[in-house]
Amino acid sequence: LAQTEDSAWSKYFELRQLQKDIQIDLERLNPDDDFFRDASVQGTMLRVLTVWACLHPEVSYRQGMHEVLAHIVKVLHN
């Protein structure tokens, strides 16, 4: 497996690490709210944050973005 910076494998592993970091934050999000424990809600938020991070590599994902997205998802769901 080529681990050069531009290799497909390197990008794959970078993406997987990004998703792991996001997932850690999602699992800690509002532990008392069953809405955010739902797998489909967490999956949606994971995809949104992953796409945003990939489209904005200069910022990528930062801790706390999941909390901003949580308000948007909750409002749109109701």
Tell me the residue length of the chain: 78
CB 36 within 8 A of CB 42: yes
Using one digit for the tens of pLDDT, what is the confidence trace for 40-73?
999 999 999 999 999 999 999 999 999 999 999 9
pTM recorded for the entire structure: 0.89
Residue 4 pLDDT class (50, 70, 90 cuts)? confident
Whole-angstrom Cα distance, residue 60 to residue 49? 9
